Structure 1
Amino acid sequence: MKKEQVANCQFSVWYPIFKKHTIKSLILPLPQNVIEYLLDDGTVVVHGSEDSTQQTQTNTADGEEDQEDIQWSDDETTTTVTAPEFPEFNAKVQEAINLLGGSVFPKLNWSAPQDANWIALNNTLQCQSLRDIFLLLKSSDFIAHDFTQPFHRCSDDSPDPEIGYELVLRKWSELIPGGEFRCFVKENKLIGISQRDYTQHYQHIYKQQDQICSALLDFFQEHVQYKFLDEDFVLDVYRDSWGKVWLIDLNPFGPVTDSLLFTWEELTSGHDLMADQTEQGDVPAFRYTTSEVTVQPSPCLSYRIPRDFVDLSTGEDAYKLIDFLKLQKSQQDESDEEA
């Protein structure tokens, strides 16, 4: 996997090529101050325009002073953390959300914050404001990887390509997990198809495996083959209830992309895939979860534990441990007083 291949899989690179066959989306360049905010571990909450207006009206009505500064106090110091505002960027984002129907699916150049859906009130990546989007982006390790290690596990030593980071807003669509598939393309040939949500068993995949494989192969050969910048890549697609196939995403052909029900050794060598293929030769290997016995927990479950708790349990952050012990002591003192 080369750095150029990773760069070519950025959303803004492939979207213009396959725009007719994917979900309507808008791309907004990320200002530097927004990037810095997303990378900052300190501040989580961001004020949207409506939040600021509501805060001002509440303070005026109550006769209280401005409460936009959040104060954290202990016996030794008082620290003031101001939630930043991005009025111009917020206006552009809200305009884009409105143009896309009022609800969007956010992502950056490569990744969506799928490991952070646990933090959203609706447990999905459906967003209706900049505040919703920032909450997901700041809580996601996948997004942090896009910012800090986009060329991790690349085999070449060439200089990293220059990246202009972007916020991608996709029109919200209810996708049934059983309709999602990952297609592995090597030398412009579709060699393997995997059920995307391999943690579940879907009866319709077993019953319609031939039709599904044929539909995905036809879509690839008609709309994708020889049209992308690279000959090795990974394609995420969705087959809807009418049998129509949609392109969802493109990913690098390499270990940075989850191989799901295959191994990368199989995919790169190609030899072990022959056992899955029929005498027709050009038919890709198609793998899916065959029964309830093979159902597995979601790989994103490990991301549902807040990072602070992980740091506490491993002792990686002494300051968090000190704060935790202070909180425990304070709660104990309160209990003693009540007794």
Structure 2
Amino acid sequence: MKKEQVVNCQFSVWYPIFKKHTIKSLILPLPQNVIDYLLDDGTLVVSGSDNNTQQTHTNNNDSDAEEDVQWSDDETTTTATAPEFPEFTSRVLEAINALGGYVFPKLNWSAPRDANWIALNSSLQCQSLSDIFLLFKSSDFVTHDLAQPFLHCSDQDSPDPAINYELVLRKWSELISGGEFRCFVKENKLIAISQRDYTQYYQHVLKQEEQISHAIQDFFSQHIQYNFLDEDFVFDVYRDSQGRVWLIDLNPFGQVTDSLLFSWEELTSGEVAHQQEGPAFRCTNSEVTVQPSPCLSYRIPRDFLDLSTGEDAYKLIDFLKLKKSQQEESEEEEEEVEVIPQQ
């Protein structure tokens, strides 16, 4: 996977090409002060009320009127003033209203799918800038987009291309997870199709495997094949209840993209492509194989995850020191207890 391939998979690059075959969306340039805020570990809540300028939708539960966010511990108390983005807020609210009042947000590449647990509705549905920021600041996927978009590229010796970061707002649509599929294209040939939500068993997918595969192949040959800038890429589609296929997203053909029910080894080696004439189709074929969502790990505090996997040696050393200190204190307390002999 080359850096150029990652650049070509930006939403603003492919959306104009396939606009008629995907969900209506609006793209807003992301100001540098907003990027700095999203990368800042300190402040979480945006000050000011972003629903004051909203014309058709309000949220009475917003607590944006609070100007300061405070943290305290045993030794110090600090106050961080949450930033305000009045002009950007106004543009975002105008775009949200133009899209019907509810949107699905993402950056150039990623949506904050790993952070939907933090939203009150456990969904990526947003109706204000505060909703979007809460998801973005809680998402490792978004942080990767902003900080390390070319991390897994093979041409690390070449300079990183300049990126103009954007906020993508997509009109909210109720998509059934059982209708989403990920498709893998190598040398402009569709070689594999995987059920997108492979952690669940959908009976209709197993029963309609042939129809689904043919519908996606037809969509690919009519609208996608030879129209994208690269010959190796991954695209996500949604097949609705009427059998119509819609393009949802485009991703680089490489490790940065989840290969779902396939492995990247078999996808890159040509093993899958030579097994049959058409694309290989895989889905979860019984309830026995249902798995927990891979995004569940993002709900665990990072410190706990580092300790459990041993990825951060310093955290492990500090943890062992703490346990040793607690043990010594416990032994000292036992020695101080007066023992009364039995009469």
Superposition TM-score, scaled by structure 2 size: 0.84
Q: Who is 1:303 aligned against?
A: 298
Q: Who is 1:88 aligned against?
A: 87
Tell me which amino acid in the other structure corresponds to 2:224: V
Q: Please list, as runs of the form range in 1=range in 2, the aligned pairs for 1:95-106 lying within 5 A after superposition.
A: 95-106=94-105
Residue identity over aligned pairs, in percent, reads: 78
Residue 294 (structure 1) shift: 1.1
Residue 152 (structure 1) shift: 1.2
Higher helix share: 1
CA-atom RMSD in angstroms: 2.3
* Residue 73 to residue 230, structure 1, CA distance change in 2 (3 Å): closer
Counterparts of 2:66 and 2:122, CA distance in 1: 29
Task: Determine helix, strand or coil for the equivalent of 2:220.
Answer: helix
Task: Determine helix, strand or coil for the equivalent of 1:260.
Answer: coil
Counterparts of 2:293 and 2:199, CA distance in 1: 6
Tell me which amino acid in the other structure corresponds to 2:83: P
Q: Please list, as runs of the form range in 1=range in 2, the aligned pairs for 1:121-270 lying within 5 A after superposition.
A: 121-156=120-155, 157-270=157-270
Question: C-alpha offsets along residues 243-296 of structure 1, whole Å, 9 cap, x if unaligned?
Answer: 000000000001111111111111112124444x2xxx2x11111111111111
CA contact (8 A) 2:272 2:280 kept: no
Q: Who is 1:62 aligned against?
A: none
| Residue segments in structure 1 that go unaligned for 5+ positions in a row | 54-65, 325-339
Residue 80 (structure 1) shift: 1.6
CA contact (8 A) 1:182 1:193 kept: yes
Residue 50 (structure 1) shift: 4.4
Superposition TM-score, scaled by structure 1 size: 0.85
Deviating more after overlay: 67-76 vs 42-51: 67-76
Question: C-alpha offsets along residues 183-241 of structure 1, whole Å, 9 cap, x if unaligned?
Answer: 00011110110000011111111111111000000000000000000000001000000
Tell me which amino acid in the other structure corresponds to 2:222: E
CA contact (8 A) 2:107 2:167 kept: yes
Counterparts of 1:184 and 1:73, CA distance in 2: 49
Task: Determine helix, strand or coil for the equivalent of 1:49.
Answer: coil
Task: Determine helix, strand or coil for the equivalent of 1:289.
Answer: coil
CA contact (8 A) 1:47 1:131 kept: no
Task: Determine helix, strand or coil for the equivalent of 1:246.
Answer: strand
| Residue segments in structure 2 that go unaligned for 5+ positions in a row | 54-64, 323-343
Task: Determine helix, strand or coil for the equivalent of 2:151.
Answer: coil
1:284 aligns with 2:283: no
Equivalent residue pairs, number = 305
